[in-house]
Structure 1
Amino acid sequence: MERLLILNPGSTSTKLAVFDGENPVFTESILHSPEELAPFDCVADQYGFRRDLVLEHLKQHEISLKSLTAIVSRGGLLPPIQAGAYAVNEDMVWQLKKHPRNEHASNVGAMIAFDIANTLGIPSYIYDGVTVDELTPINRITGLPSMERKGMGHNLNTRAAALHYAEETGRAYKDVTVIVAHLGGGISVNLHREGSIEDFINDEEGPFSPERAGGLPLFDVIRACFQEGTAYKDMMKLVKSRGGLMAHLGTTDSRLVEQRIASGDEHAKLIYDAMILNIAKNIGKLAPGVCGKLDAILLTGGIAHSKYVTDGISRYVSFLAPVVIYPGEDEMRALALGGLRVLRGEETARTFHRAKNSQL
């Protein structure tokens, strides 16, 4: 039996799990208070602190380190990579420590995995990292040569949904053509064809969501940026965590919004229905890239639990293809299944080369 340690560091927690094959032994989320994280100047400095907590909790669950076959972590903010597995190596750890694409808690995951795995003499991997970017050249182009569209976003969950759909329909991933919408605090939509995520509408340019402002009228954005007293961090907070439902309705909880709608709140209904239509429009944007020849449209993420939302989206887009719903997101299982594909020889892990992949 393959036993995998799964790591998924977030801004205020470190999730860890142990899987025996496809079966979870335990899953836990270690919470980190602001006071605990305050002494660290940057995310990379948290590495030792989080590693020791992981080891402590494994001991509490009576998991022998020697029983582990491999370690799989959520990928950090590397330069653009391909989908699938990468073996964690010294180049990757250097990149995440010295020159990550941005500060993010996921950067320490590979560091922890590499440290523990090296001690044990077992492999460590990342899988479907945040910075997977497989956009085709034509899909990168914008109206300014200095700005390209990017594929960075909810790759782990959307690709897991596409792989699940392929398995359910008895086909290989490379043989299905699907649009996948991740419906969460941020919303992104991507197109999977011939084994690649060839187009991607991320949560900075796509539909507004519970937290994100999504695509905005550009002239108004420029004007807002130059208002007196406006700082870069203020604008980033506005569009990343204070936009969408939060800006309009004062909450990021879609369940509360639906309660308000059920109680007769017409304004809440208007905003929520606008978000649903926005999602559908962005699904539609990706269909021309394959001339509308789609096997399915997949809806996943936390908000996909809502029948109000999924029925609304389906009403708008079902003329394109059947809509299949995979509610929720199970990143730990997705990471585990990715690691198992490598261990079982179904997939070969790629090698990250700093000199080749770094944009620095």
Structure 2
Amino acid sequence: MKKIFTINCGSTSTKVAYFEDDKMMCKSSLTITAEQLKEMPKTLDQLEFRTNQVEDFLKENNLDPKDFDIVVSRAGTIPSVPYDGAYEVNELMIASVTYAPEAQHASTLSCLIADKLVKGLDVPVIIYDPTCVDSADEIAKITGIPEITNMPVAHLLNTKMAGITYAESMGKDYKDLNLIIVQLGGGITLGFHDHGRIADWVYDDEGPMSPQRAGAIPTRYLADYCYKSNKTLQEMRMYLCGQSGLVAYFGTQDVRDVEKLIDEGDEKAGLILKAMAYGVAKSIGQLCVVRGGNVDQIILTGGVAYSERITEWIKEKVSFIAPVTVIPGEREMEALAAGGLRVLNNEEQVHPYIYYPKGYSSIEDIINNPNELA
């Protein structure tokens, strides 16, 4: 029996789960309130608080890290890597996400907490299916500004799991299909899964607005807004990717709250929520051309996919492209544990982590010259 502990930090919670082989024995979503987050404006400020929460969970459930066979965490904001699957959490990764993170995102804390839990113990720590796997077509990375390359970012953990789940339900192999998979969460991302490889994508800052994100804003408006705002660079980033979307319109990221307004006759709420679904449909249409319309299935997953109102609005727009399957909810903890179990069973190898942040060439350089997000 293999004992596997999983950690998945999100913007307002830290999800943890303990597995014995593929059976989840216990889990929890450790919440951080908006008031608490205000006292920890930078993501890394939250590390001690979240680590203490996880340690309390372990004590409450009589779990001792020294008994774990492996700890598997969600990947943070690390430089692009060439493969999906497992990567070792080593000194380079810890230094990179501590002193030179690619962005301010709570997922970055997952591997740091995992590392702290088993410090000094002979327990391996890995990340699995990071968001930044670069398997995309080169043509998809070209932008109109030569100095900017659009590098792939996607919610790979849950979307890949949804693709595998769908394929198995049809008696097929995920790697034999062309799928457009939509992650409907606090941020909304889409990927074109070409036989197991994400060939192109729409990330949550370049597609539809979402519960917490602004989505794509025309540059002629965004440039003016940024220059006229008194927000700092970090404040602007946090606003666009955490405090906009439904939050900015209604003060809530919970779609159910907005749907209640609609049911009470609020026409504006109906228009805004439908605009979000409309944006998702437009992004699906954008991706359907990646392989000339050769799409086997469109899959809608994530927490927002529980909303039949939203999924039906999307279906109405895109069913002409391919059939639509809804797999609501998130299976990220199961995906992390399954990856860890494959590693322990020698069914999958752990990739060495050897990727330096842009502009750095040694761990010492990273530690001595932290970037502005650290």
Normalising by structure 1, we get a TM-score of 0.89
Q: Mark the CA change 1:292 to 1:112 in structure 2 (over 3 Å): closer, same or farther.
A: same
Structure 1, unaligned runs of 5 or more: none
Relative CO higher for 1 or 2, CA cutoff 8 Å, sep ≥ 6? 2
d(CA) in 2 for partners of 1:123 and 1:231?
Answer: 39
- 1:215-226 equivalences under 5 Å are 215-226=216-227
Question: Residue 185 of structure 2 corresponds to which residue in structure 1?
Answer: 184
d(CA) in 2 for partners of 1:6 and 1:132?
Answer: 20
Contact 1:177-1:296 within 8 A present in 2 as well: yes
Question: Residue 91 of structure 2 corresponds to which residue in structure 1?
Answer: 90
Contact 2:66-2:123 within 8 A present in 1 as well: no
Question: Residue 75 of structure 2 corresponds to which residue in structure 1?
Answer: 75
Q: Mark the CA change 1:222 to 1:36 in structure 2 (over 3 Å): closer, same or farther.
A: closer
Contact 1:150-1:200 within 8 A present in 2 as well: no
Question: Residue 276 of structure 1 corresponds to which residue in structure 2?
Answer: 277
Deviation of 1:202 after TM superposition, in Å, equals 0.6
d(CA) in 2 for partners of 1:36 and 1:242?
Answer: 15
Instruction: State the SS of the aligned residue for 2:7.
Output: strand
Count of matched residue positions in the alignment of Structure 1 and Structure 2: 359
Deviation of 1:323 after TM superposition, in Å, equals 0.6
Structure 2, unaligned runs of 5 or more: 361-374
Q: Mark the CA change 1:54 to 1:238 in structure 2 (over 3 Å): closer, same or farther.
A: closer
Instruction: State the SS of the aligned residue for 2:15.
Output: strand
Q: Which residue type is aligned with residue 305 of structure 2?
A: A
Contact 1:17-1:26 within 8 A present in 2 as well: yes
Q: Mark the CA change 1:108 to 1:323 in structure 2 (over 3 Å): closer, same or farther.
A: same
d(CA) in 2 for partners of 1:316 and 1:296?
Answer: 14
Q: Percent identity?
A: 39
Q: Which residue type is aligned with residue 233 of structure 2?
A: Y
- 1:144-223 equivalences under 5 Å are 144-223=145-224
Q: Which residue type is aligned with residue 162 of structure 2?
A: A
Deviation of 1:154 after TM superposition, in Å, equals 2.0
Contact 1:225-1:231 within 8 A present in 2 as well: no
Contact 1:79-1:359 within 8 A present in 2 as well: no
d(CA) in 2 for partners of 1:185 and 1:103?
Answer: 15
Normalising by structure 2, we get a TM-score of 0.86
User: What are the Cα deviations for residues 73-119 of structure 1, in whole angstroms up to 9, with x where unaligned?
Assistant: 11111111232211222222222233221333333322333354463
CA RMSD of aligned residues (A): 2.7
Instruction: State the SS of the aligned residue for 2:120.
Output: helix
Q: Mark the CA change 1:269 to 1:199 in structure 2 (over 3 Å): closer, same or farther.
A: same
Q: Does 1:23 align with 2:23?
A: yes
Deviation of 1:224 after TM superposition, in Å, equals 1.8
Q: Does 1:14 align with 2:14?
A: yes
Contact 2:183-2:302 within 8 A present in 1 as well: yes
Question: Residue 132 of structure 2 corresponds to which residue in structure 1?
Answer: 131
Deviation of 1:281 after TM superposition, in Å, equals 0.8
Contact 2:66-2:118 within 8 A present in 1 as well: no
Instruction: State the SS of the aligned residue for 2:290.
Output: helix
d(CA) in 2 for partners of 1:40 and 1:247?
Answer: 21
Contact 2:66-2:122 within 8 A present in 1 as well: no
Q: Mark the CA change 1:216 to 1:311 in structure 2 (over 3 Å): closer, same or farther.
A: same
Instruction: State the SS of the aligned residue for 2:258.
Output: helix
d(CA) in 2 for partners of 1:233 and 1:117?
Answer: 32
Question: Residue 4 of structure 1 corresponds to which residue in structure 2?
Answer: 4
d(CA) in 2 for partners of 1:62 and 1:258?
Answer: 40
d(CA) in 1 for partners of 2:329 and 2:161?
Answer: 11
d(CA) in 2 for partners of 1:342 and 1:141?
Answer: 35
d(CA) in 2 for partners of 1:112 and 1:238?
Answer: 26
Instruction: State the SS of the aligned residue for 1:7.
Output: strand
Q: Mark the CA change 1:314 to 1:212 in structure 2 (over 3 Å): closer, same or farther.
A: same
Deviation of 1:239 after TM superposition, in Å, equals 2.4
Contact 2:154-2:190 within 8 A present in 1 as well: no
